[in-house]
Amino acid sequence: MSSHASRLTLHALRQFLVAWQFLTIIPLSRAHHDPSPRELAGSMAWYPCVGLLIGTILAAVDLALSRVVPRGVSELLVLSLLVVLTRGLHQDGLADTLDGLAGGRSPAERLAIMRDGTIGPIGATGLILVIGLRYASLASLPVDERWPVLLCMPVVGRWAMVMGTATLPYARAEGGLAQPFTQHLSRKEIALATGLLVVALAVLFGGVATGAILLAVGAALIFLVWLFRCQCGGITGDMLGATNEMTEVLFLLLAPWLLAQR
């Protein structure tokens, strides 16, 4: 392997590790990673790949649990595992976003409410409803056929975060966790993330279903982008977490039709 190819491989590996460390609780490297803003943005190219690995863990655990525990318990444990693997990062973002959108009268007030760590009644209610929809949607699927859904659900959600980052500026003038992503994300990372999504969906569900998913999630993203722009003037890490949650639930709601296309 040439030195140039070796550098590219190491660069891609580092970006993947940055994405994995940011999105999951599982350490893959003992080395201390202190990524630059550009590296943080570049790591988004690998978000769907990280999502696919998370989905693989979920599908494997679901298959094992379905053999030893009753239905209902299995779904609840799998969804709990998803929260643990991701540190509840996206669920927290969803609750904060809903509280901010419902409670503030101006963009500044909404952003201030989102930054407050306390979950209000709107955020708690929305979180319960989303978890309930996840559970009910997953429980409605045949046990032996839902593994492709579990594989692709995290892929779709993490791709949606990439696209949300690509289409809106960062909302807070003082900066924040998601600012490096919005400032440095390039078309190359967007294209790679989209390519990974399309390949995963096409292999597991086929071309027709892939097109339908892209249209449905794309429509949802257009609405969310419009909402976040109008209400907050941009996007934050909390809103990206909310985007992940909402698009994953949409994917689960479409899952029975998607399985029928295989």
Rounded mean pLDDT for each run of 10 residues along the chain, 262 residues in total: 65 88 85 78 96 97 93 93 95 96 92 90 96 95 93 98 95 84 93 97 95 96 97 96 97 94 80
In a domain, 203, yes or no: yes
Residue 12 lies in a domain: no
Give me 73's structure tokens: 């318990």
What residues contact 223, with CB distance under 8 A and at least 6 apart?
none
Has residue 23 been placed in a domain?
no
Q: Are 141 and 39 in contact (CB under 8 A)?
A: no
Give the range of the structural domain holding residue 78, as residue numbers without chain letter.
45-260
Please indicate, yes or no, if residue 91 is contained in any of the structural domains: yes
What is the pLDDT at residue 148?
A: 96
Q: Are residues 44 and 193 in contact, defined by beta-carbon separation less than 8 angstroms?
A: yes
pLDDT in tens, 25-82: 988 776 656 788 898 999 999 999 999 999 999 999 999 998 899 988 999 999 999 9
Q: Is residue 18 part of a domain?
A: no
The terminus-to-terminus CA distance of the chain in angstroms comes to 39
pLDDT of residue 3: 64
User: Would 70 be classed as within a structural domain?
Assistant: yes
Gap between the Cα atoms of 253 and 149, Å rounded: 10
- Residue 164: name the closest of 237, 95, 251 by CA: 237
pLDDT of residue 168: 93
Instruction: Tell me how many domains the chain contains.
Output: 1
pLDDT of residue 4: 58
pTM: 0.94
Q: Which residues contact 189 (CB under 8 A, 6 or more apart)?
A: 41, 42, 44, 45, 162
CB 170 within 8 A of CB 40: no
Is residue 100 one of the residues assigned to a domain? yes
Looking at residue 69, its pLDDT comes to: 92
